[in-house]
Amino acid sequence: MILNRIEKFLMNNPVRAAFQMHLEARRLMALGGPMGGGRALEVGCGRGVGCRIVLDVFGAGQVTGMDLDPDMVRRAGERLAGYGDRVRLYAGDVTDIPEEDASFDAVFDFGILHHVPDWQKALSEVFRVLKPGGRFYAEEALEKFIRFAPIRWTLDHPMENRFGHRDFIRGMEKAGFRVLDNRPTVGEWFGWYFAEKPGAGVRGKTER
């Protein structure tokens, strides 16, 4: 679902960028650690701040950013022009990712699946495009947040088939992931998650 004007303003400003860089990225890093090279996909990349974090903070060699909204992809293209062929961007739907099976070392979700009516299908697509041993880093807004009255009145989110903290963990497990760490906020309004696609041998957290 494309953002309404209010949420687009909330996403496309320097305060949001600072929050994403200094809080969200740090929490995901604490859960999963850096990538140390490799190919990453950011689903719902918005205006491209997350792609920059994936390259400069998590250490991906290359990042593909995709978003349902072509205007967001255009903004991301302007922001990331200096990265040359380390960045690839396109408009697309996370429930039907136009990528080969097992083609990414990591997938990043900075708060998009709560906008997706069939978020379970999105998780199975994320699982499909990851290599065995590939990592899934996710930050999500949870049901209690999107049902909170002032949020409901101002922002547009799908209201059917929503997920709370436990539902999201179960959804990842059902898609095939091994969920290795998670951190909900107080009140379970938001959550941070780190999961792995099994298949490349069992890794302990300290080995990441």
Ligand X SMILES: C[S@@+](CC[C@H](N)C(=O)[O-])C[C@H]1O[C@@H](n2cnc3c(N)ncnc32)[C@H](O)[C@@H]1O
User: Which positions lie near ligand X, rule CB under 6 A?
Assistant: 1-3, 11, 16, 20, 43-46, 49-50, 67-69, 72, 93-95, 110-112, 115-116
Q: How far is the CB of 110 from ligand X (least distance, A)?
A: 4
Q: What distance lies between CA 182 and its chain's CA centroid?
A: 14
Task: Give, in order, the Cα–Cα distances in Å from 153 to each of 63, 84, 163, 171, 208.
Answer: 35, 41, 19, 27, 42
> How many CA atoms lie within 13 Å of 104's alpha carbon, on the beta-carbon side?
28
Measured from the CB atom, is 10 or 178 closer to ligand X? Answer: 10
Give the three-class secondary structure for 90.
Answer: strand
Q: Which is nearer to ligand X, 9 or 132 (CB)?
A: 9
- Write down the least CB distance from residue 33 to ligand X, Å: 20
Q: Which residue's CB is nearer to ligand X, number 57 or number 133?
A: 57
Beta partners for residue 196, in sequence order: 135, 178
CB 94, min distance to ligand X, A: 4
Which of 62, 95 has the CB closer to ligand X? 95
